[in-house]
Chain A
Amino acid sequence: MEVAQLVLNGVMAGTVLAVPAIGLTAIFAVLRFTNFALASHMTIGAFAGFVANTTFGLPIVPSLATAFLVSGFFGWMSDEFVLRRLRASGFVTTAIGSIALTIALENFVRFGFGNQMRGYDLPLRRDWVIQGLRVSPQQVENLAIAVVVVALLFAFLALTRTGKAMRAVADNPMLASIKGINSDTVARLVSFIAMGLAGLGGMLTGLDTTIDPLVGFRTILSVFAAAVVGGLGSIPGAVVGALVVGIGEELSLLFLTPAYRTAVGFLAILLVLTLRPRGILGQRAY
């Protein structure tokens, strides 16, 4: 029974993890670097949603939308003014620049909100127990929200002209430019959407527990592991990778104390890079 409970928790956690993991992998697919600033954007989203929820009294769903929009806006701006300039100097420079950026932005949040833990304004609800398995209504809501967001994103990429143009740039940027697609516009859009997803993921993570400025930093390794396991650059891969990492982290509790849970992310990255460097689904963007 304990294993079933852990797997269930893992599916819940993995689905939420998929949201920022898609952001990380989408940026890689289009802009060809790993943007570790995703961590601080998760934090920014979590706090933007916190302000919307506790200061302005908005319900959870509009607060999540606020988290998406605010962190998306920061993502767009940080790409426009910082990362875009670094990209010409290559992958390593840009990735390192994104780490510096994330430290700066995290401290910006700390300056505004301090280090203490904060919680969202949520109704207190009793956990549901079904067949001996325990879930909180909040977890189920988070799962539903994550599924809807991922489905909307897939629909956007599969059905709209702009979504297809984003996939075209990821697939073959040279040809996309010949066909008249503006890669600068696509870069802005992917920065906005991906960092919006990061912020949404940051708030979803925090809804379950509490938030502080380190909420993104604590999660980024799992997010990165999910994207790498699924194949960096592949959006369906990020979903699969997030479920693998989410379930793996929960199952690790059978052997490890919670403090070592993040070791699972490391281990997953190591295993995948050794055995199957292109990830489970390879490098297909979509």
Chain B
Amino acid sequence: MSELFARAIVAGYGAADEILKGVDFAVGKGEIVCIIGPNGAGKSTLLKTISGLLRPKSGTVSLDGKDITGRLPREIARAGLAYVPQEHNIFPSMTVRENLEMGGYIDPGAVPRRIVRAMERFPVLGTKQRHAARTLSGGERQILAMAMALMVEPSVLMLDEPSAGLSPLAAEKLFDAIVEINREGLSIGIVEQNASEALAISSKAYILVDGRNSRTGDAAELAANPEIRRIFLGG
């Protein structure tokens, strides 16, 4: 009984409309599921399709049993899916606090309470709440982007390379935060370059290559597979 289901997704951009050539993906209740794969495999394209930024040519996406295929991003957000894009995931000229407020735009009543919570969880956001988001460091931006997604109570959180550009220490802290958020009951889908870290915190993993599902399975098993270790884990 999965929360999020994407079946046989074919999607792309304009003339290149088959970047994804029939991809399946699912995140079950309370799970962390990771997507790994080489650059250009279509991982971000899959997340854009799930969140409504791209309309799939064929295939279906459902959230909590409800069909959300081809719906607008704002409708999908209201249906309970929070998505943190790989790039451009903050409002640069707005303050950190205003970014959090916009994160909770669809649930304004809960915003004050959740801002307090976000600043407890990520103290740097409290310290810098009056700073323009554009002045934050790369790591602080990723934290802000994730905190913005948590300003609503989503049923599924989709993260696109949250650790990109972070120092190893900052990345480790971020993964800790992801595990903690997951323990609170949130289902999480995560795209990562940092494959070993991602596999370590996930229960299930999808390997995407050239717009197709290459391998799918238990994260620990995939992490132990020699072929996969050689290609993705550099060992």
Contacts and interface: CB of A to CB of B under 8 A. Distances in A.
Interface string B94-107: 10001001110110
Given A178-B51, A180-B74, A180-B77, A164 B101 contact: yes
Contacts of B216: none
Interface in B58-93: 72-74, 77-78, 83, 85, 88-93
Contacts of B103: 179
Contact of A171 (B52, B78, B93, B101): B93
Contacts of B93: 167, 171, 284-286
A180 B108 CA distance: 12
A93 interface: no
B78 A180 contact: yes
Contact of A175 (B52, B88, B98, B101): B88
B148 interface: yes
Contact of B105 (A179, A284, A286): A179
Given A161-B108, A167-B91, A284-B93, A178 B102 contact: no
B85 A175 contact: yes
Nearest to B99: A168
A212 B13 CA distance: 50
B91 A171 contact: yes
Counting contact residues on chain A (CB < 8 A from B), the size range is: 10 to 19
A115 interface: no
B91 A172 contact: yes
B83 A172 contact: no
Contact of B92 (A172, A174, A177): A172
Given A175-B91, A179-B148, A285-B93, A168 B102 contact: yes
Contacts of B51: 178
A165 B94 contact: no
B89 A181 contact: no
A175 B151 CA distance: 14
Nearest to A234: B93
Contacts of B73: 177-178
B85 to A, nearest CB: 7
Contact of A174 (B53, B77, B102): B53
Contact of B102 (A181, A182, A286): A181
Contacts of B92: 171-172
Interface in A83-100: none
A197 to B, nearest CB: 21
B147 to A, nearest CB: 13
Given A164-B101, A174-B85, A179 B106 contact: yes
13 contacts: A161-B105, A165-B105, A167-B94, A167-B98, A171-B91, A175-B85, A175-B90, A175-B91, A179-B102, A179-B106, A180-B77, A180-B105, A180-B106
Interface of B: 51-53, 72-74, 77-78, 83, 85, 88-94, 98, 101-103, 105-106, 108, 148, 152
Given A171-B94, A175-B88, 7 more contacts: A168-B105, A171-B92, A172-B88, A172-B90, A177-B53, A177-B73, A179-B77
